[in-house]
Amino acid sequence: MIKIQRQVILAPYTTLKIGGPARYFTVVKNLRELKESISWAKENKKEIFILGGGSNILLAKPWPGLVIKNEITGSEIIKETKKSVWYQAYSGENWQKFVEDSVRRHLYGLENLASIYGSVGAAPVQNIGAYGAELKDVFVSLEALNLKTGRSKIFKASDCHFAYRDSVFKKSLRGKYFIYRVTVKLSKEPRLNLSYGGIKEILLAKKIKTPTPKQIALAVTELRASKLPIPAILPNAGSFFKNPEVSEKEFKKLQKRWPEIKFFSGSKPNLIKIPAAWLIEQAGFKGRRYGAVGMYEKQALILVNYGGASAAQVLAQIKRVIKGVKTRFGLTLEPEVNIIPPLK
């Protein structure tokens, strides 16, 4: 029988250390408890919010319904061929542990996504990505339960509508499903992605010419540690804004005015992606504090809680940064972090 708690403060369950009370709260560790929780919410007419690792969210208001804390963990190989492995994990599994398990098995595909905070279940919602790789590159399918009916459904890659830090679970299916488990296809043969963000330089400095998945993952971890704050030390929700994409025509106008503007290829051939960190820095926000909040001194894309920040202060900072970039560059930044309720 599940245990329903009342008025549970959610801040300790998030990496940003912000979050008011949930009117009802329960922890699930298996499928039976999950189904019982969904049934309880239906019987009591309470809206459900799923809480995983708490690494990519801002809980801006108290939750009036039921918060289900996902602690359904575990992973296993479910299929194997001479060249590939189908690797499955339950949604409450720690993402970094999932990556570590895969590289320890000498499997290629997740190594560039090392040291990303959060759970496996959050990965497809966000289509997490880093250093030239995204989850969609290895994604096979996921199983999810409808939060109204409790019925299970399989979503293939085409069903998820993956895009840059986006999926159907952030749009039309937002808040409608509990992602139960995720399957990825990994390679036994080398499939190296070393061209992005200095990975190759670190490996060459260590005289590693043919890196293993573990060596690549360690290089990525080293890179991230050099410029990203550890949430346990300095609370944050990871990269806070998406990198905006513009047409080639629009980019040329921007480049004419700012020749030093940073850029790289967009998600489509006719689009150019501009680093949000560069825009935020140029707008004067990098390392600048506004009370208990600010953009991190080593990486302008990270909004940090210096201690005791409120949701209202964070929301004010988000709007301040969006306005500042819009005023200077005419570009509108979009939050990457899942804001509950959504920013208006």
CA-based nearest residue to 20, from 65, 70, 63: 63
Per DSSP bridges, beta strands 48-51 and 302-305 are unpaired
Q: Would residue 165 show up in a list of annotated catalytic residues for this protein?
A: yes
From the candidates 55, 75, 167, 239, which is the catalytic residue? 239
AA identity, residue 321: V
From the candidates 165, 167, 181, 281, which is the catalytic residue? 165
Q: Are 108 and 190 in contact (CB under 8 A)?
A: yes
User: Residue ranges of the alpha helices (H) in the chain?
Assistant: 31-43, 95-104, 122-126, 157-160, 199-205, 213-227, 248-257, 276-282, 311-329
Q: Which residues of 88-108 are buried (b: 16+ CB within 10 A; e: fewer)?
A: bbbbbbbbbebbbbbbeeebb
Q: Would residue 37 show up in a list of annotated catalytic residues for this protein?
A: no
Rounded CA separation 122/92 (Å): 9
AA identity, residue 44: N
User: What 3-state DSSP class applies to 29?
Assistant: coil
And the tokens for 260?
């030093």
AA identity, residue 71: E
Angle at 342 between CA 339 and CA 344, to 5 degrees: 125
- Provide the 10 A C-beta neighbour count for residue 331: 17
Q: Would residue 239 show up in a list of annotated catalytic residues for this protein?
A: yes
Residues annotated as catalytic are 165, 239, 336
